[in-house]
Amino acid sequence: MNNDFDRPVIESSCALCGGSHAHLIERKDRSGHPLDVVICDHCGVVHNDPIPDAAELSRFYSMEYRLQYKNTHRPKLRHAARYFASVSQHLLEHWHLYRAPGAVLDVGSGSGEFLYLMRELGKSVHGIEPNEDYSVFCRQDLGLPITTGEIDTFQPAARFDHIRLSHVVEHLRDPAGCLREVSKWLNPGGHLYIEVPDFHTYGRNKRPGGMFHFGHIYNFDADSFDRLLGAAGLAVLHRSGPTSAFVTPSLRSGPVSPPAAPREEILGKIDFYRQHRHGLLRKNSLLRRLRHKIHKLVHEHRIILGRSDYAGIGSQSASLLKHRLTS
Ligand SMILES: [Zn+2]
C-alpha cells in the first residue's frame, strides 16, 4: 500500500498553469522504476515531477527507440490491420469535418495510416515523425512525404487546413506553448484534431500501478484537457471523446491561464487513483480480458491473411472506406 496519498501538498512547478504546489500520488513508473507523479494543486493536471528538461527527454527517447526498435525497423502487419481499421472508423464518423478540400499535416505520423488514407481520399498530405525508421518506412513503402524531426524544428513551407496531433501532446514539456505554435501553421478557417490518452480510461484498463511512465509527462482527463485547450487559445468545434476534439484558434480571446480546479475535482482524482492502485476499478475478469484479446488477434489475422505488405492492407482499407463514404 502506498502511503503517499496521505502526504501533504508539496512544492512542484506546473508548466501548464504556473502553479507551485501539488499532491504526490505515485513514486514509481509502470515498470517499478522511480518516478514521482503529482496532481497540480491549482489546475488539477496529473504530471510527472519534475518535468524533465529537453536534454533528459531526448536522451530518454533515443534510448527508448533503440530498445523498442532493436529487432523491428518496420511496423508489423498486425499493427496495419489494427490502425487502418481504427483510422477508417474515425474518418467515417467525422467525415463532415474532413470533407472540404485542403492540405493535411499529421504531427507524429508514426506508421502512416492516417496520411495514407487521406491521400487515397484525394488530400494533399505531409507528416512529421521523430522516429527515423518509421519515417523511412513511410517514405519508401507507402510513398508518403514525411519530414523526420521534432515539432519545434519543423519549418512548414506552406499552411495547412487540417493538422492532427494524435497521442503527441502528452509527451511534450510545454503542451500549451506547442499548440499555440502549431496553430500558426493553419490557414484561416482551418482546424486541429487533438487526441491524448484519458486518465480515467487508463485507470480502468491498466493493471494496478501500470499507468505512468517517463515519456507520458502529462495525464489529462476531460477537465484538464479543456484547461489545456483554453491555455493554448483554442475553441472546441466538435468533441469526439473525453480527451479528443476538433479545435480552432479562438477569435474572442487569446490564450488564458488555466483557472483553478474545484477542490472536489482534485480530491476525486486522488481517490480515483487510489482505487486504481488497489485494483478496485477493473470490472472484467481475467477470462473476459483473455477472450477479448484472442478475438482481436483472430480478427487482425483475418485481415492480413494472404497479404504480405502494409500498402496492400492500406489499399484494401482505402477502397472499403471510399465505398462506405459514397454509399
Ligand atoms: Zn497546474
- Partnered with residue 246 across adjacent β-strands are 193, 238
Query: In whole angstroms, what is the distance from residue 107 CA to residue 175 CA?
Result: 13
What spacing in Å lies between the alpha carbon of 176 and ligand 1's midpoint?
Answer: 12
What spacing in Å lies between the alpha carbon of 1 and ligand 1's midpoint?
Answer: 27
The sign of the CA dihedral 144, 150, 155, 158 is positive
10 Å Cβ neighbour count for 141? Answer: 17
Does the pLDDT at position 266 exceed 80? yes
| Share of residues in the chain with pLDDT > 90 (%) | 62
Task: Note the pLDDT tens digit of each residue in 65-112.
Answer: 656 554 556 787 778 888 999 999 999 999 999 999 999 999 999 999
What spacing in Å lies between the alpha carbon of 259 and ligand 1's midpoint?
Answer: 9
- 224: region left, alpha or beta (phi > 0 left; psi from -120 to 50 alpha): alpha
Q: Identify the three-state secondary structure at position 103.
A: strand
Q: Taking CA 133 as the corner, what is the angle to CA 109 and CA 313, rounded to the nearest 5 degrees?
A: 60
- Partnered with residue 36 across adjacent β-strands are 49
Residue 2: band (very low, low, confident or very high) from pLDDT cuts 50, 70, 90: very low
Task: Note the pLDDT tens digit of each residue in 156-195.
Answer: 999 999 999 999 999 999 999 999 999 999 999 999 999 9
What DSSP assignment string belongs to 191-230? EEEEE---HHHHHHHSPTT-S--TT--EE--HHHHHHHHH
What spacing in Å lies between the alpha carbon of 227 and ligand 1's midpoint?
Answer: 9
Query: In whole angstroms, what is the distance from residue 297 CA to residue 81 CA?
Result: 10
What spacing in Å lies between the alpha carbon of 14 and ligand 1's midpoint?
Answer: 5
pLDDT value of residue 12:
87
Does the pLDDT at position 3 exceed 50? no
The mean pLDDT value for 4-30 works out to 84
What spacing in Å lies between the alpha carbon of 267 and ligand 1's midpoint?
Answer: 15
Query: In whole angstroms, what is the distance from residue 28 CA to residue 14 CA?
Result: 19
What spacing in Å lies between the alpha carbon of 293 and ligand 1's midpoint?
Answer: 37
Task: Note the pLDDT tens digit of each residue in 35-45.
Answer: 999 999 999 99
pLDDT value of residue 226:
95
Q: Identify the three-state secondary structure at position 147.
A: strand
Does the pLDDT at position 33 exceed 50? yes
What spacing in Å lies between the alpha carbon of 47 and ligand 1's midpoint?
Answer: 9
pLDDT value of residue 306:
62
Task: Note the pLDDT tens digit of each residue in 237-256.
Answer: 999 999 999 999 987 666 67
What spacing in Å lies between the alpha carbon of 30 and ligand 1's midpoint?
Answer: 23
Task: Note the pLDDT tens digit of each residue in 207-241.
Answer: 899 999 998 999 999 999 999 999 999 999 999 99
320 burial type by CB count under 10 A (0-12 exposed, 13-18 middle, 19+ buried): middle
What spacing in Å lies between the alpha carbon of 106 and ligand 1's midpoint?
Answer: 28
Locus of grid cell 495525464 = 219
pLDDT value of residue 110:
92
Cα separation values, 301 from 111, 142, 170, 226, 294, Å: 18, 21, 31, 38, 11
Q: Taking CA 262 as the corner, what is the angle to CA 39 and CA 242, rounded to the nearest 5 degrees?
A: 70
Q: Tell me the pLDDT of the chain averaged across its residues.
A: 88
Task: Note the pLDDT tens digit of each residue in 285-324.
Answer: 677 778 888 877 777 776 666 666 888 889 999 999 999 9
150 burial type by CB count under 10 A (0-12 exposed, 13-18 middle, 19+ buried): middle
Task: Note the pLDDT tens digit of each residue in 271-283.
Answer: 999 999 988 877 6
